[in-house]
Amino acid sequence: MKAQLMPHRHHTRAANLPDNLSALWFLLPIIIVFGVLTLIPLIQTFFYSLTDYDGYSPNLNFIGLQNYVTIFQDPSLLQALGFTLLYAVSTTLIITMLAIPLAITLNSAMWGRGFARSLFFFLGVPSQAIIGLVWKFIFSPLDTGVLNKFLAGIGLPSVQWLAQDNTAKMCVIIVAVWMQVGWHATLYLAYLQIIPADLYEQSMVDGANGMERFMHITLPQLVPGIAVSMFLLMTGGLKIYDLPYTLTSGGPGTSTNTITQAIILRGIAQSKYGLGSALATLFTIACILVIVLQMKATNSLEKRFA
């Protein structure tokens, strides 16, 4: 046994070095990009977070962890954190549940398929200013709003969509789903292409119905795609800035404020760049935690299906 294994191990070791080296060459560009465009700026941001830098004047003083203390004493930030989490989790779940069936449908035979795919993909493309304009018009609390007119048409009372805390939160999430579902369906569409066709052929022979095929072949095979899509949604959701801003400007009150808005508001609008930087640093750490948790979850999911 031993004698048989030896040459094999030898062989792997010898092959390891050039392989590792090639891998390094391929990774080098992204390491440079990451170092220059992310790591160095991030270190600077951390540095600013320990100062009273105002973002304008060249003078700054070290104030230690004072900025971090200020953050933990600010109740409005908890509110922002709450909505950001609600937004990130709910858009991730809803979009995933809608995008997979959409992708499967767009992958099946139908007329005008290219056109439909293009339309769905393009929903979120126009600028935020336009999306805000159109959806404000749809969700208008006035009786002349598109949705309220529709409700009146079927005999229901009008709803003050953007004028109430809970409905405003819901509106932001609905628009986010609308914007992104087509693009994530496109992503799943790509993943559907690497499911080996013989899996389906075999199941046809076994007489499985559509639902069984979906549960036992499509879904397990899509797990890597689901992991990618959910990761994108989660990170994107935690970073969300533009959408609530254009739709509600954070209102009513502060109910749809997000963490990124808080970073910008404090860092730039209040000329407390140091405080904004501290918030950004904490936010990055929080994101890492959320993502590690999510990775753990998807990993165990992948193992279960594999």
Query: Which residue type is seen at 31?
Result: I
Round to whole Å and give the CA distance between 18 and 27. Answer: 14
Query: In Å, what is the CA distance from 209 to each residue of 94, 121, 206, 214?
Result: 26, 30, 9, 9
As measured in angstroms, the least distance from the Cβ of 271 to other proteins is 5
Tokens of 246: 């254009």
Q: CB within 8 A of 54, min separation 6: which ones? A: 60, 271, 272, 273, 274
Shorter beta-carbon distance to other proteins: residue 83 or 135:
135
As measured in angstroms, the least distance from the Cβ of 219 to other proteins is 14
The stretch near other proteins (CB under 8 A) out of 5-13, 61-69, 211-219, 287-295 is: 287-295
Shorter beta-carbon distance to other proteins: residue 89 or 141:
141
Q: Which of residues 165-224 bind other proteins (CB under 8 A)?
A: 165, 168, 178, 182-183, 186-187, 189-191, 193-194, 196-198, 224
Shorter beta-carbon distance to other proteins: residue 3 or 191:
191
Tokens of 231: 């990761």
As measured in angstroms, the least distance from the Cβ of 79 to other proteins is 10
Please compute, for residue 277, the number of CA atoms within 13 A of its CA located in the half-sphere on the CB side.
Answer: 22
Tokens of 281: 């640093």
Round to whole Å and give the CA distance between 162 and 248. Answer: 7
Shorter beta-carbon distance to other proteins: residue 1 or 56:
56
> Binding string to other proteins for residues 220 to 259, with x set by CB under 8 A, is what?
----xx-xx--xx--x--xx-x------xxxxxxx-----
> Binding string to other proteins for residues 132 to 161, with x set by CB under 8 A, is what?
-xxxxxxxxxx-x---------------xx
As measured in angstroms, the least distance from the Cβ of 155 to other proteins is 18
Shorter beta-carbon distance to other proteins: residue 79 or 90:
79
As measured in angstroms, the least distance from the Cβ of 261 to other proteins is 9
Shorter beta-carbon distance to other proteins: residue 85 or 123:
123
| Binding flag, residue 105, other proteins (CB under 8 A) | yes
Query: In Å, what is the CA distance from 2 to each residue of 12, 15, 39?
Result: 16, 20, 47
Q: CB within 8 A of 188, min separation 6: which ones? A: 99, 100, 102, 103, 104, 222, 225, 229
As measured in angstroms, the least distance from the Cβ of 2 to other proteins is 25
Q: Which of residues 7-66 bind other proteins (CB under 8 A)?
A: 15-16, 19-20, 22-27, 29-42, 44-45, 54-57
Contact criterion met (CB below 8 Å) for 100 and 181: no
